[in-house]
Amino acid sequence: MARVYDTIFFGDSLVPAVDAHLSVVSAAVLYGLSVYTVFTLNIAKDGTRLAFRLSDHYKRLVHSAKIIGIDTFSNTWSEERFLQAIKSLVEANAPTENVMVRVTVHVSELIPGTRARGLTSTLSAFVYSSAPVLPPLGARLKTSVWRRIPDYCIPARAKVNGAYINSILAKQDAIDCNYDDCIILDNNGHVCELSAANIFIVRDGNLITPSPDHDILEGITRRTILEIARDLDIPTFERTVDLTELYIADEIFASGTSIGATPVIEVDARPVASGSIGPITLKIRERFQSILLGTSDKYRHLVTII
């Protein structure tokens, strides 16, 4: 279970968590009309708090809002104002452990009907800690009976709260079948992603991941892993991935803010290679962890001191 810290940024100020409320007749509640992002806040060895790719997370909020038509966020929230809000939130809660920060732009207009433009929006941000959403030593996955919503219905590259019903249906099906998570396919039957994570496979030394035209979230962790792989001289390809490729992959891992790079050890009751973390996955995971903790000078620009 997640533990939410006591102080939340809501609207224009810090408030106790119990006082951060949206109306039950707001568009955010009635229609799920909100967009969000989540980033990690890690504690370095010297006690410094490091936020991962904070500028990119702000941009993702802006892009998600633009795609959906929420036009009152970027007009009022500059990146500098966003950064100051996050700093005040972190300072107020003073976490001493590695935590997550979730920032949401809610359309708080009351009973607006099914529209998005020109409506009041409210920003919220909170700090929380939680157990890993996938087993760190290896996840077991099954192919979902639910398909990913296509871009021409609800675009996956926008992190829209209401769209996550699709992921909930898929993940719950996996849990009901005693798996950790699922593989979601697109409408053409190609591999898309997990319920809330991107997927990578390794075949013959090549790192492969579904390309953005397969209705995936263009994840910030995913982008970082692609950069790491290229720096490690690992041949990398973004392309169509068939389900049966997962059955014969040398390695598989999932990536995301809440899981980093987590190995997959089983898909549809078929073990992945030896059933343990592979060498390429291990290299990438170790490099990624060094970025989060600020121990890599090469990637120091990817973390912001809070």
State what percent of residues in the chain have pLDDT above 70: 100
Domain 3-129: CATH architecture, name and number where available: 2-Layer Sandwich (3.30)
pLDDT category at 16 given cuts 50, 70, 90 is very high
Query: What kind of fold does domain 139-292 have according to CATH?
Result: D-amino Acid Aminotransferase; Chain A, domain 2 (3.20.10)
- Say if CB 3 and CB 12 are below 8 A apart: no
pLDDT category at 274 given cuts 50, 70, 90 is confident
**Measured between alpha carbons, how far is 268 from 51 in angstroms, rounded to an integer?**
36
Collect all residues with Cβ–Cβ distance below 8 Å to 238 and sequence separation of at least 6.
208, 209, 210, 211, 212, 226
pLDDT (tens digit per residue) in 155-210: 999 999 999 999 999 999 999 999 999 999 999 999 999 999 999 999 999 999 99
pLDDT (tens digit per residue) in 114-141: 999 999 999 999 999 988 899 999 999 9
Q: What is the pLDDT of residue 253?
A: 98
pLDDT (tens digit per residue) in 23-43: 999 999 999 999 999 999 999
Residue-averaged pLDDT of the chain: 96
What is the domain partition of the chain in residue ranges? 3-129, 139-292
